[in-house]
Structure 1
Amino acid sequence: MINTSIYQFLNDRRLAVTQVENTGTFLDTRLFQMIRSGDAKLPLDRVEEVADLLNCDKHELFSMAMRQFYDDKAISTFERMLATPLTSEEQEWLHIIRSASDGPVAKPSVMAKRLVRALAKTQGAV
């Protein structure tokens, strides 16, 4: 989803979601219409509401919305400063996992969780 423009994503999601219970919401405002056309930016404080109304992942939408305002370096700085602090060992594990993946890292399967637990336990025994 990151490679898709936020405008295209919002238009696609808006078309995919039925208009059953969205009347009188932010999705009906002139501002939202301007956002969908690319004439305005999605305010960061509206991301969670929009994600709920469009039934999409709020974290991914927030990431797209951040890219309207900030470059990748600034976003990376925010993530480092605001995220739960990781030890250098945890950062190394994450680096290994991310470098082993060809693209976005998928949600771990049951087998992957077992494997990581087994690896972590053997690390302490070595």
Structure 2
Amino acid sequence: MSKEKQNRTIANFIEKWANASPYSYRDIALVAGFTTADMIYMFMRGERRVPLDCVPALAEALQCDGNELWTLALQQYPSPQIFRAIQEHGHSPNEQAWLNALRTVSGHADPDLTFERSTRLREILLD
């Protein structure tokens, strides 16, 4: 994937969550540790990479899936080969397939693993 496409992907992600937020772009920027909303606009236009040390605060400000934002932010930096190696190192292929399925089913939200969900999942896996 080209750097331009990667930047567009994270830009679209940030724009989607910023627009869905009850907070203004300025408020999002402040919670994320920036002094003005200009950084949020630059991220959404793909003009700036998200600094990796700002990802947790930005995810909190956007109220989005922090792991997905991390993944998108990391894609902006290393070569595609290094990024794939980082991704593959973290999870087995089966774990990654489960994570992808959960993200797809949840609409890329971050649902709580409630007792009821855990029980239902256990029933499915032990069937």
TM class by smaller structure: 0.5 to 0.7
Q: Deviations over 1:37-95 (max 9, x none)?
A: 111111111111011001001111110111111344322322455x4xx8xxxx47x27
Q: Which runs of 5+ in 1 are unaligned?
A: 120-126
Match of 1:55 in 2: 63
1:22 aligns with 2:30: no
Amino acid at match of 2:123: R
Change beyond 3 A, Cα 1:47–1:24: closer
Q: How large is the Cα RMSD of the aligned pairs?
A: 3.6
1:75 corresponds to: 83
What percentage of residue pairs aligned between the two structures are identical? 17
Task: Indicate the structure whose relative CO is greater, using CA pairs within 8 Å and at least 6 residues apart.
Answer: 2
Aligned partner of 2:121 among 109, 112, 122: 112
Q: How many residues align?
A: 104
| Secondary structure of residue in 1 paired with 2:49 | coil
TM-score (norm 1): 0.61
- TM-score, scaled relative to structure 2: 0.60
